[in-house]
Amino acid sequence: MPKMSFFERDGSVREVEAPLGLSVLEIAHRHGVDLEGACEGSLACATCHVVVDPAWAEKLQPPTEDEEDMLDLAFALEKTSRLGCQIVMTEALDGLVVRLPRTG
């Protein structure tokens, strides 16, 4: 099964199984990673904001205009910021690394 890693806000790294077809948000929830997702993946908020490791950013599908609009609302936006609900696990993303942004 594919895997991915979350760099948590406290600096720890959690490598988890990442089933194909699930979003990064769903994978985080499945493994108890502190990624909110207030709109439950309906692309109506920015609470599942993650920062994709630069080595992986180019491997993702580009963000849609709707995702970019929601990212404008995210705190601590970075060049490789994405919404976890919009990154869907594929074989090509086996090993994906994302970081949870600092809050406040």
**pLDDT at 100 > cutoff 70:** yes
Instruction: Give the number of other Cβ atoms within 10 Å of residue 28's Cβ.
Output: 26
Whether 104 maps to a domain, the answer reads: no
Write the CATH number for 60. Answer: 3.10.20.30
Tell me how many domains the chain contains. Answer: 1
Q: How confident is the model at residue 103 (pLDDT cuts 50, 70, 90)?
A: confident
- pLDDT tens profile 38-60: 999 999 999 999 999 999 999 99
Within 8 A by CB and 6+ apart from 29, the residues are 35, 37
Within 8 A by CB and 6+ apart from 7, the residues are 13, 97, 98, 99, 100
Whether 74 maps to a domain, the answer reads: yes
Residue 71 structure tokens = 């990212």
Whether 24 maps to a domain, the answer reads: yes
Per-residue confidence (pLDDT) for residue 104, from 0 to 100? 53
* 25 sits in which H/E element: helix 24-30
- pLDDT tens profile 6-42: 999 999 999 999 999 999 999 999 999 999 999 999 9
Section 89-98 average pLDDT = 98
Whether 89 maps to a domain, the answer reads: yes
Average pLDDT, the chain: 96
* Residue range(s) defining the domain that contains residue 70: 3-99
Whether 73 maps to a domain, the answer reads: yes
Section 83-92 average pLDDT = 98
Whether 31 maps to a domain, the answer reads: yes
Whether 40 maps to a domain, the answer reads: yes
Whether 12 maps to a domain, the answer reads: yes
